[in-house]
Amino acid sequence: MGDEGGPVRGLRRANEHRRFISACSATPETEARIKKSMALGESLDVNSTPSVFINGRMVPAIANIPYEQLKALVQFEIDHAGK
């Protein structure tokens, strides 16, 4: 009678994914990984996303930097690495 394709199938798959993610996030291993990641972020003063580091230095407001300028910054770091 009902169509098992389309939206119904999509909702079932979404529900399956939700259950999988919920089960995964409830494990002690996942909690430990999250806490470790949060501690690293706090130690680096990360307070927003995305946060990008180039050669160990945080680049603030990365989304507002024009591509060519970002490319030049990366190239500068490559050219001066280890100097």
Q: How many domains does the chain have?
A: 2
One DSSP character per residue, 32-67 reads: HHHHHHHHHHHHTT--SSS-EEETTEEETTGGGS-H
d(CA 9, CA 13): 6
Task: Based on the fold, state whether residues 26 and 8 are members of the same structural domain.
Answer: yes
Residues 39, 54 within the same domain: no
Q: Are residues 31 and 64 in the same domain?
A: no
Domain of residue 28: give its range. 1-43
Amino acid at 70: L
Mean pLDDT to the nearest integer, 51-63:
88
Same domain for 24 and 51: no
Question: How many CA atoms, within 13 angstroms, populate the side-chain half-sphere of residue 37?
Answer: 6
Residue 33: its pLDDT value, please? 92
3-state secondary structure of 79: helix
2-51 tens-digit pLDDT? 556 677 787 788 788 888 888 888 889 988 999 999 999 999 989 888 88
